[in-house]
Amino acid sequence: MALMEGKTVFITGAAGGIGNATARLMLKEGALAVMITDINEEITTRALNALKEDFPGRNIEAAWPNLTSEEEVGSVMRAFTEKYGKLDAVCSIAGITHNTTIKRIADGEFRKQVEVNLMGTYCVDRQAGLIMQKQRFGSIVNTSSICGEYGSPMGCGYGASKAGVIGLTKSLGRELGYFNVRVNCVAPGAIRTPMTASLSPEAQKAATANIALRRMGEPEEVANVFLFLASDMSSYCTASVYNVDGFST
């Protein structure tokens, strides 16, 4: 049987990159229904249409809530859950980055990183947790970064916000374990996505300089770990961080 057979999955940041690769993998693995969300209606609708073309007849939904608004996130998540009767897995992948030193960072940029990367994840996690603890089952998978573990030489807001996601994951994993709800976190390294494509050539070179596998990772390689953590294969895993970084030092 496919790993996600009969399961429902809610994914943020799913219009492209790791989020879209994860949505495709969940569908390939037999998910009953997949909800993709992203910040922009046009790009999210385009991603929805592409998924429906590649997976005809499957239950694929789309929405574009403001992830820093618990009201918007909760409304979309509850409607999805009510439609399909349960919420098996939530993959919180949406995030933003920057590669600006503290000397040059714009006013408000640090706060923006924290709002989107940490508060956005919290809003998604809280709404998922409220649903899942009533069900007494479910898996929440967050997205941090190796920058949240080791720091970033450029972009302290990104590293700080992603470190916060790790703390959030470990705390909620402990809290929600009582309700048979698992909370884990994926920490990608340098991955070839639209977000990293915006980095300067110097930043991209620096990102791969100390990777044991001597290359950037692909979105599909990170999606494999989201699949593992969302599925029953990881039934005894919670409050943990899983690096997908080619062993960065």
Token code pair at residue 36: 């993709």
Residues annotated as catalytic (active site), given as ranges: 158
Question: Which residues lie below 8 Å from residue 51, measured CB to CB, with a gap of 6+?
Answer: 23, 24, 27, 34, 36, 58, 60
Q: How big is the chain, counted in residues?
A: 249
Q: Is 233 exposed, middle or buried (0-12, 13-18, 19+ CB in 10 A)?
A: exposed
Burial class (CB in 10 A: 0-12, 13-18, 19+), 46: middle
Rounded Cα–Cα distance for residues 123 and 72 (Å): 10
Within 8 A by CB and 6+ apart from 94, the residues are: 12, 13, 19, 37, 38, 39, 67, 116, 120, 143
Rounded-to-integer distance, Cα 95 and Cα 115, Å: 10
Residue 128 is which amino acid? A
Calpha distance 164→246 (Å, rounded): 23
Query: How many CA atoms does the CB half-sphere of 111 hold within 13 Å?
Result: 3
The neighbour count for residue 101, using CB atoms within 10 Å, is 11
Q: Give the residue carrying structure tokens 């999805």.
A: 80
